Amino acid sequence: MGTIREGGCLCGAVRFKTDGEPVNIRICHCRNCQKSMGSPFFARALFDQRALTVEGDTAGYLSSDALDRMFCKACGTRLFSRRTNGTVVGVALAAFDDRNTFAPTEHIWVAEKIDWVRLDDGLPQYQETVPQ
């Protein structure tokens, strides 16, 4: 077992734990993330789905064939973006109890960034996803 980190939604009805280290930590600027988060971007830590345990009542919205976005049914806090193929899940960075647990390492889908967002943090930027 690795390092356990915990978090939850605004109202406390949903609690989660992650086990171990994330696959990556990114800020996504794609239009789907903007719309689903109601925010200029989605800052998330990506984990193997087996590393995430969730307690509480969540609902989901299939925003594409590949991604199911999960939120608290009671307060609406957007918590996770789960790959429908069962591989990985993005966990919202601000939903962790220690909101400074993880720091992003790169920006993706910058081609769809909102014009007034300024990226001057020195992190790598990719027009779409990260090249393999």
According to the model, what pLDDT value does residue 131 have?
Answer: 73
Largest Cα–Cα separation, the chain = 42
pLDDT digits (tens, 9 = 90+) for 54-95: 999 999 999 999 999 999 999 999 999 999 999 999 999 999
**pLDDT over 70 (residue 132):** no
According to the model, what pLDDT value does residue 33 have?
Answer: 94
According to the model, what pLDDT value does residue 83 have?
Answer: 95
The answer to whether the beta carbons of residues 42 and 93 sit under 8 Å apart is no
Confidence of residue 2 (pLDDT cuts 50, 70, 90): confident
SS3 43: strand
